[in-house]
Structures are given as C-alpha cells and as structure tokens.
Amino acid sequence: MQNSLADLSSYGFLGYPLLMAADIILYKADKVPVGEDQLFHIELAREVLRRFNFLYRKEVFPEPAAVLTKTPKVPGLDGKKMSKSYGNCVYLRDTDAEIVEKCTRQMASDPARVKRTDPGNPDVCPVFEFHKLFSDDETVNLVNTECRRAGIGCFDCKKKVADAMIRRIGPVREKIEDHLLHKDHLRDVLRSGSAKARMVAQATMAEVREAMQLPTL
C-alpha cells in the first residue's frame, strides 16, 4: 500500500502517459497498434487532443483508435503481465536452450496440480495461455483434453510450448542477428526514418503554433 502511494506521487505517472500522447498526436496517428494494458494511454491521448481542439477551436489533431491484435495480452513466465521489471520475459534473442530452460524450469503451471496423477485445469494455467499463442490447434486441443484427465505431465506440456516458441522465435532471432551484422544499414534506416518523422512533426507544430497564435520559429 505504502509503495503504490509512493509510486503514484511520482511525476512519471503523469509524464510517461503524456509523453506517449505526444508521440501519438504529433504524427496525427489515427490508428495505434497497442497491447491491452496500453488502452489507457490511447484514451489519455484522446482526452488531451480533444481539450486542445476545443480550447483553440480548431481540429488540429484527429482522434486515434487503438488497434488490438489477436493476442492483446502476453503473460509472463509467472502468469503476470510480461515485463522486464518483473524478470519474467522470453526475449526474441534468447537461444533455443534459454527458451527451453525458461519454459520448463521457470514457467508457472496450475498450482492445484501437485502430483502427476492430479488432473489439471488449463483455464487457470499460464502454460496453456502460451500454447494458445504459439502452438498449432492440434496441440492446443490435445493439451486442453489431456491436462484435464492427467493424460499429460506438466514437464512434457511445457516442453511442447518451448518447441512451439522456438519454431516461431528462432527465425526472428536469426533475422535480428543478421541485421546486427549490418549496422551501417540499420543506421541509414534510422536516419531516413527520423528525417521523415521530423518533417511530419514540424508541419504539425506549425499548425499548433498557428492555432495558439504563437510566433513561428
């Protein structure tokens, strides 16, 4: 309790969402791909721009809409939200061995399933959430059925998740490693992207100054 009060009193709780709002509205984004836990940030951005448009009687900023993917929330290894601060992440650059280690040793499962012979409940198990994200339908159905009648052990179930994650993450990791071998190209991409973004931002800021009747720079 004391902690949450201390946290809420920090400027970060206002400044961070405002910074995100600025990042969205400066570029006049009308659709923003986000995770479920960021919907609040989009709402705050809408509040900010509505207030601006109302105060200065000009529709400078369009209202952005959130775009959720089929997987709007990815759990961490412990079933909480996946976050670096919680130390519960699987990273795109993790090796196959690290992914297996994290899945089989760190991933939480149904806490009520104590013995191998106990039936489990996939609906409360974080491993099953990962199956739904990474495994094919056949495996998802198999786990869903076999877990409930103790037909599959948690270790084997986690191993299946690890294999599915490796199949999906492995090619991404290879691509990242390849990009890192061509850092000059990466810098060029960043430079040209930044130049394009600057042009859009400058045009928006000119409109903002005009609406607010501020002198142009």
Instruction: Between 88 and 109, name the residue whose CB sits nearer to ligand SF4.
Output: 109
Question: Rule CB under 6 A: which residues touch ligand SF4?
Answer: 109-110, 113, 120, 122, 125, 127-128, 143, 147, 152, 154, 157-158
As beta bridge partners, residue 33 has: 67
Instruction: Between 21 and 143, name the residue whose CB sits nearer to ligand SF4.
Output: 143
Instruction: Between 94 and 110, name the residue whose CB sits nearer to ligand SF4.
Output: 110
What are the helix and strand counts (H, E) for the chain? Answer: 8, 2
Q: Which residues contact 207 (CB under 8 A, 6 or more apart)?
A: 58, 60
**Nearest distance, CB of residue 35 and ligand SF4, angstroms:** 23
Phi-psi region of 165 (alpha: psi -120 to 50; beta: other; left: phi over 0): alpha
**Nearest distance, CB of residue 133 and ligand SF4, angstroms:** 13
**Nearest distance, CB of residue 153 and ligand SF4, angstroms:** 7
Instruction: Between 125 and 165, name the residue whose CB sits nearer to ligand SF4.
Output: 125
**Nearest distance, CB of residue 99 and ligand SF4, angstroms:** 16
Q: Measuring CA to CA, which residue among 127, 103, 100 is closest to residue 113? A: 127
**Nearest distance, CB of residue 161 and ligand SF4, angstroms:** 8
Q: Tell how far CA 109 is from the center of its chain.
A: 22
d(CA 29, CA 61): 9
Instruction: Between 49 and 162, name the residue whose CB sits nearer to ligand SF4.
Output: 162
